[in-house]
Structure 1
Amino acid sequence: MTSDTARGSQHLASGAAATSADAARLRTPSRLTRQHFALYRGYLDGVSEAQLHASYGDAGTDVRATRRLIDALRDTLSVLARRARDTEAAHLLRLRPGSIPLFEPSPAAAAVPTLDDFRERIDPDGVYGESELLALYEEEYPPNTSPALDRRVARNARLRRRQAEALARMEASLAQDPRQDHPIDGWFEPAVTARLTAAGLTTIADVIGLIEKRRHRWYAAVPRLGPKGAQRIVDWLQLHAHALQHSLSPLVLLPRRQWGPEHAALARHAAASENDALVMAPLEALRVPAALDGSRGSNRAGANARFDTDIRAIFAWLDAHSASEHTRRAYRREAERLLLWALLEKGKPLSSLDGREGAEYIDTFLPDPQPASRWVSARRGERHVSSWRPFGGPLSDRSRESARSILSAMCEWLVREAYLATNPFAGLARAASPPVFDSAGRTLDLQQWQTVLQSVTREEYTFSEHRDRLALLLAYATGLRRAELAAATTDALSVGRLRGVDGAVWRLAVDSGRSSPRTVLLPPVVVDALEENLALRGLPGPLACAAGTPVLAQARGGQPITPDGIGKIFKGIFMRAAAILDARAPGSGRHLRKVSTHWLRHTHSTHALGHGAELREVGAGLGHADLSTTSLYLQQEDSGRFLGVEKLIRHASRPKKHS
């Protein structure tokens, strides 16, 4: 038995019931796979049921399930052998282990252990085959030979050989390999088949497609199928990956937040050989033939650069210029698209592109990537699936301008690094005029802010309601990005004094990776809300919490909320506030329905500056490297920003008096 078979067979799926000639109905496989025969071969070889269950059994069951499967296989094989008029196989395959001993000790050899006892002592893990084990046994305990004993040994050896041959005949005629176009009926348990069918899945290909589309929570689309049942189906698909000619990526069932650069499925491949076919793949998995890898590109500055191929040059640029993961993804996307276009459309390495081709890429290809079947994905897909494509559709003028700017900066850096001789994007006209920043159009006015804050204010809160209010207060008071909100932890908090402010002042350290670390101020109303939220979680005060305690936590388990989860929280808040405005005056909530998390950053800046906060201090809190960016919010000391935001929050939180 190979280790692959032993591991993979742990989750064999049994099908419909079959009836033996003279017994009650038993749960038997309606399709016999090679793993079923491997299990029964181990049983006939005398492997213990406990070991067979450990190697072949379902992890969610005990040894009794494997014992029942063995009994069902014995009856099924016997019935099928009789139907095939193979009487010998029908008889031999029903013989239980021990009924054909390979060696029978004489009565005088009472102290000599049995072969089974010898196996347990010498080979508990089942490493040796029967012939090897027998040779070791006879070497340690030479048999007392006699003509009668020799005849019995020879007879039993013949019977064991004929038994093995009978099982091989049955396997050759009955064992089936699954194919993607096979109906799921017969390959999975009837109950599982019914659940998959209820979800509209009729073939194995349908199941594979759903898994790749929905990823790690694919089973949520199948009624009454939980994670354990889903895992058994996935294990079965991985076991039969060769026969199905499809392997699920290890990342299909792993949440994106658990992906790491060290994951094997994301590892960079070595350069391909001259004969390897070039196929569409993301940058980290792209295999480029040596003739196209850029080592001999016509636009190379020379052979003395720190990197010798286009892919290595791109990764070096990404490592040098990606201060944050968000920036790295944006830069990688543009470099990846250009490299693939050069390889697949122009048939040359990126380091052979010239100015004319740079203009063609920006002005002709990006507005309409063709052929669409090669470049455009029909639906959003993860990078590790075979259907991945680098585009979601044609690029707008603003997106093309972003691509031009990023690629020109990349090639200029490669020129400075003596990798490229010239920048193919140098002097290329802008694809679009820079957008005019409209802070007013993406900011909540005071009345809208008051409506939003009042929409999350309650007399009594559930945990989720209180958490959402804390998130809103924290975002408005600090101007943090959603990724920074998601990453905020209590060990980043500190307490100090601030000139012009009575009482202690709380600060939150922020390290987004975009710029140098900074701190933001937390008004007392935000600190009060945080202390209340921690109490709801059964935690002590902010400074007494364990390291890594998230400021904003999930309702179940207290785990950090992802940046996407933060966005969903705010989208729900704004939609509910919009409904309140619409109830007062139909159509008045239209503006709030367009609000995103980033609008709170604009609102924080505009309100703080409007209340007299200093431009330099607001820019520092936002993490702006250039004050010209902060000045876009205009229509001056830390204490002005701190006290102004606190006053706006408390005013908006005050319940309105109704006449």
Structure 2
Amino acid sequence: MAERPSGSAHPVALERGYTTKDFTALRAYVQRIPPAVIARTYYDPDDDPHAATPGVMERHLNRMLDTLVQLALAHGSTALADYLRASIRQHGQPKLTAVTFRMVAEAAQLAAAPPHPDHPIGAWLRPRVARRLKGEGIGTLGELVAFCNRRGASWWRSMPRIGRGRARAIVSWLRRQQTALGLTVNADVDSVEQDGVPLVAAERVEVVPDLDSSGHLTERLTGRLTLAPLERLAVPHALSGADGENRSTAFCYIQAQHDLDAVRAYLNRYRDQPKTLRAYTRELERFLLWAVVLRGKALSDLRVDDCEAYKDFLKSPDPRFVGERFARTSPRWRPFALSTSEAGGSASLSTESQRYAVRLLRSAFAWLVDVRYLAGNPWTAVNDPPVIRRRNTMKIERALPADLWRRLRDELDVRCADERAAPWRDSRNGVQWRAVRAAILLMGDSGLRREEAASARREDLAPSVYGTLERPVWELTIVGKGQRERTVPVSAATLTALRAHWADRAKDSEDAVAGEAPDVVPQGPLLAPVIIPWTEASRRRHRQGREGGVGDFNPGVDAGYTADGLNRLIGRMLKILIETMEALSLDERVRLGQANAHAFRHTFGTQSVANEVPVDVVQKVLGHASLQTTTIYVQAERKRVLEEVAGYYARLAMEPAKR
């Protein structure tokens, strides 16, 4: 039998250890035999610590009884479960007779058996934990192991209120039951036993061609390949390109002994452009891994037919190159990432993405020719994949309509109210709502991209010389897409929201909004998290000692949001609004559900044009390089277009009748 731990610090899984003697003692306890008599009759205090005193004995029996009742609720008959629940509601604990105790013991016989993959998780895990796992579609122990193995070390992150400690306890128990389950928990799934041990070795991972037993490249699409990202990648000397057929014989301008050196030298040009560097790295490592593993060639050995083959590969990548998103340090990392719902399928790229990859590779090879690492560029003879030119690639339909945009702003103001005026509000939530309001208004009133909002600085926000005392105007200078600097106006509502957010960050914001130039210009990011997640990555980013505990903020170290972090925060708080905001229609909840951080930039574009702001002004604020891009916002509603054209057709049809 098993004991269900009561404290959250204990393992979550049930440990089976009750004996026949325990059952006999518990039956006596149900029949009102005093714990002191039970301890003296059935146990030896020297061998059984839980029989040392009557109090300890009673606590042990109560824990055992609770375990049996929980198992009976999960596996007993409906009538027994109803009886137990009614007894608990009435007395605070189950009141059992000799008959009902026998029924409970019989219903809990599953506990005498070892865990099995088909056992429901509710029989082995605490009810609250089981409910959260069931929310992810996990019903049995086998499904739990498969879920952990599929997701890796961070399998628990999508589940509410299952943190790293509880997740480690679950995995530790699963590892102890591997023999009974007949299942193996993969090595990179984090557990207590692995605390402090790197999940992935720091050394390079050598990838080799996928060969069959006869030494030829295989065409099978089964089995797991050894793959690694560019920073951890190593290849055999024969495929390194050190003696590549396409290597230039002229003096080379870069210190590159092989293809990996040359690729890294090319990427080093973009070290100050993190988004570009990330995209270029992704495409080049995909191509390099394909060449070595599936083509069996070095980059400097590739010819036109190889490049054509890779262009075809992009239409439908090998399933072994495809997987869910994992950290680049994980052995589960794959070059092509799928969403969770697509796991196990293929990852065919859009035609736009295929063309992007081909053009990038052509450009990279051209640079390698220019620096005299390669003698020629085989990609020059490869045509771009055909792409349908779409009339509108921007998803401006995500922009919020004027009425919903106004109501959203009003709701944010209410949720950001001072806790002293609304003591029922959670101050921790208030801090998050004020950060979200500042971010949403900054993008919705000034048309910023999420990257621009995340990188905006306080020292770049200042009163404009074009403002007056009656109508002050503020402006923010940012560096936007393409490293182009621009200045955008900032609304009074946004300033108010920023001021409240700065106050939460323990900053003196009075001098920044008083309308006069301060003696010392405040420094730091415009938006920054006040509540820092207790994770290694967050601590490393914000460089905090965290002496005050989880959630404390060190005003001396003020690191801003990342663009992805800001997007996640907005998405999380919008989800709460969808569920709790009153007087929203179903269509409006759908619109909010489709919104993301970028939707508020589109909201500015559509609302400003609708309110007759000149298109060229909107272009300058949004930072569009072409006025044609901005005119996308200047569209008649489809209904109005159809009505006007239908009217024209009707008038045209009446012309002959008049004659």
Question: TM-score when scaled to structure 1?
Answer: 0.54
Partner Cα distance (2:484, 2:331) in 1: 39
Kindly indicate whether residue 151 of structure 2 is the aligned counterpart of residue 213 of structure 1. Answer: yes
Q: Name the SS for the 2:316 alignment partner.
A: coil
Given candidates 457, 471, 480, the residue that maps to 2:448 is 480
Deviations 1:276-332 (A, max 9, x none): 998223323333111111212212224744212222222222221354333222212
Deviation, 1:387, is 3.8
Kindly indicate whether residue 566 of structure 2 is the aligned counterpart of residue 563 of structure 1. Answer: yes
Partner Cα distance (1:401, 1:253) in 2: 47
Show the counterpart of 1:298.
245
Kindly indicate whether residue 464 of structure 2 is the aligned counterpart of residue 497 of structure 1. Answer: yes
Q: Name the SS for the 1:456 alignment partner.
A: helix
Given candidates 316, 321, 324, the residue that maps to 1:368 is 316
Show the counterpart of 2:303.
354
Q: How many residue pairs end up in the alignment? A: 453
Aligned partner of 1:269: which letter?
Answer: R
Q: Name the SS for the 1:461 alignment partner.
A: helix
Q: Cα–Cα, structure 1 residues 205 and 438, in superposed 2: closer, same or farther, change >3 Å? A: closer
Deviation, 1:496, is 3.8
Partner Cα distance (2:177, 2:522) in 1: 46
Show the counterpart of 2:407.
454
Question: After the TM superposition, which of the residue ranges 428-437 and 202-211 deviates more from structure 2?
Answer: 202-211
Partner Cα distance (1:346, 1:402) in 2: 21
Aligned partner of 1:228: which letter?
Answer: G
Partner Cα distance (2:286, 2:467) in 1: 54
Aligned partner of 1:498: which letter?
Answer: V
Kindly indicate whether residue 228 of structure 2 is the aligned counterpart of residue 231 of structure 1. Answer: no
Q: Cα–Cα, structure 1 residues 549 and 430, in superposed 2: closer, same or farther, change >3 Å? A: closer
Partner Cα distance (1:595, 1:246) in 2: 37
Give the percent of matched residue pairs that are identical in Structure 1 and Structure 2: 26
Partner Cα distance (2:465, 2:257) in 1: 54
Partner Cα distance (1:12, 1:599) in 2: 42
Deviations 1:188-229 (A, max 9, x none): 9x975888777457669944742651744617759x865434
Q: Cα–Cα, structure 1 residues 291 and 531, in superposed 2: closer, same or farther, change >3 Å? A: same
C-alpha contact (below 8 Å) 1:282/1:336 kept by paired residues = yes
Unaligned runs of 5+ in 1: 1-9, 26-69, 74-180, 255-262, 636-659
Partner Cα distance (1:318, 1:238) in 2: 42
Deviation, 1:394, is 1.2
Kindly indicate whether residue 204 of structure 2 is the aligned counterpart of residue 269 of structure 1. Answer: yes
Deviation, 1:622, is 4.8
C-alpha contact (below 8 Å) 1:251/1:384 kept by paired residues = no
Q: Cα–Cα, structure 1 residues 344 and 537, in superposed 2: closer, same or farther, change >3 Å? A: closer
Kindly indicate whether residue 629 of structure 2 is the aligned counterpart of residue 632 of structure 1. Answer: yes
Aligned partner of 1:230: which letter?
Answer: A
Partner Cα distance (1:582, 1:194) in 2: 35
Question: After the TM superposition, which of the residue ranges 415-424 and 542-551 deviates more from structure 2?
Answer: 542-551
Aligned partner of 1:529: which letter?
Answer: A
Partner Cα distance (1:581, 1:539) in 2: 36
Q: Cα–Cα, structure 1 residues 325 and 468, in superposed 2: closer, same or farther, change >3 Å? A: same
Unaligned runs of 5+ in 2: 1-9, 26-45, 50-113, 212-223, 339-346, 417-431, 513-520, 533-550, 554-559, 633-659
Partner Cα distance (2:170, 2:412) in 1: 48
Deviation, 1:71, is 7.7
Deviations 1:96-119 (A, max 9, x none): xxxxxxxxxxxxxxxxxxxxxxxx
Kindly indicate whether residue 253 of structure 2 is the aligned counterpart of residue 317 of structure 1. Answer: no
Aligned partner of 1:422: which letter?
Answer: G
Deviations 1:545-581 (A, max 9, x none): 9865662646784876513315516865997999978
Q: Cα–Cα, structure 1 residues 368 and 347, in superposed 2: closer, same or farther, change >3 Å? A: same
Q: Name the SS for the 2:235 alignment partner.
A: coil
Given candidates 234, 246, 249, the residue that maps to 1:287 is 234
C-alpha contact (below 8 Å) 1:606/1:634 kept by paired residues = no
Equivalent residues in 2 for 1:254-653, closer than 5 Å: 265=200, 269=204, 279-302=226-249, 304=252, 305-321=254-270, 323-362=272-311, 364-370=312-318, 372=319, 374-377=320-323, 379-391=324-336, 392=338, 393-433=347-387, 435-436=389-390, 438=392, 442=396, 448-458=401-411, 461-463=414-416, 466-488=434-456, 491-499=458-466, 502=469, 505-511=473-479, 515=483, 519-535=487-503, 540-541=508-509, 548=524, 551=527, 553=529, 557=551, 562-566=565-569, 568=571, 572=575, 595-604=595-604, 611-612=613-614, 618-619=619-620, 622=622, 627=625, 629=626, 631-634=628-631
C-alpha contact (below 8 Å) 2:149/2:185 kept by paired residues = no
Aligned partner of 1:499: which letter?
Answer: Y
C-alpha contact (below 8 Å) 1:219/1:230 kept by paired residues = no
C-alpha contact (below 8 Å) 1:324/1:512 kept by paired residues = no
Q: Name the SS for the 2:315 alignment partner.
A: coil
Kindly indicate whether residue 248 of structure 2 is the aligned counterpart of residue 248 of structure 1. Answer: no
Q: Cα–Cα, structure 1 residues 576 and 182, in superposed 2: closer, same or farther, change >3 Å? A: closer
Partner Cα distance (1:253, 1:217) in 2: 17
Partner Cα distance (2:386, 2:583) in 1: 39
Q: Cα–Cα, structure 1 residues 401 and 576, in superposed 2: closer, same or farther, change >3 Å? A: farther
Partner Cα distance (1:548, 1:184) in 2: 53
Deviation, 1:384, is 3.8
C-alpha contact (below 8 Å) 2:207/2:228 kept by paired residues = no
Deviation, 1:533, is 4.1
Q: Cα–Cα, structure 1 residues 217 and 552, in superposed 2: closer, same or farther, change >3 Å? A: farther
Partner Cα distance (2:117, 2:500) in 1: 52
Partner Cα distance (1:351, 1:253) in 2: 45
Question: TM-score when scaled to structure 2?
Answer: 0.54
C-alpha contact (below 8 Å) 1:367/1:394 kept by paired residues = yes
C-alpha contact (below 8 Å) 2:153/2:189 kept by paired residues = no
Aligned partner of 1:598: which letter?
Answer: H
Deviations 1:386-423 (A, max 9, x none): 44332341122111111111111111111112122222
C-alpha contact (below 8 Å) 1:278/1:287 kept by paired residues = no
Q: Name the SS for the 1:318 alignment partner.
A: helix
Deviations 1:346-401 (A, max 9, x none): 11012211122212221x2111224x3x2333x44444444433234112211111
Q: Name the SS for the 1:316 alignment partner.
A: helix
Equivalent residues in 2 for 1:158-177, closer than 5 Å: none
Show the counterpart of 2:89.
none
C-alpha contact (below 8 Å) 2:479/2:485 kept by paired residues = yes
Q: Cα–Cα, structure 1 residues 272 and 221, in superposed 2: closer, same or farther, change >3 Å? A: closer
Show the counterpart of 1:17.
17
Q: Which has the larger radius of gyration?
A: 1
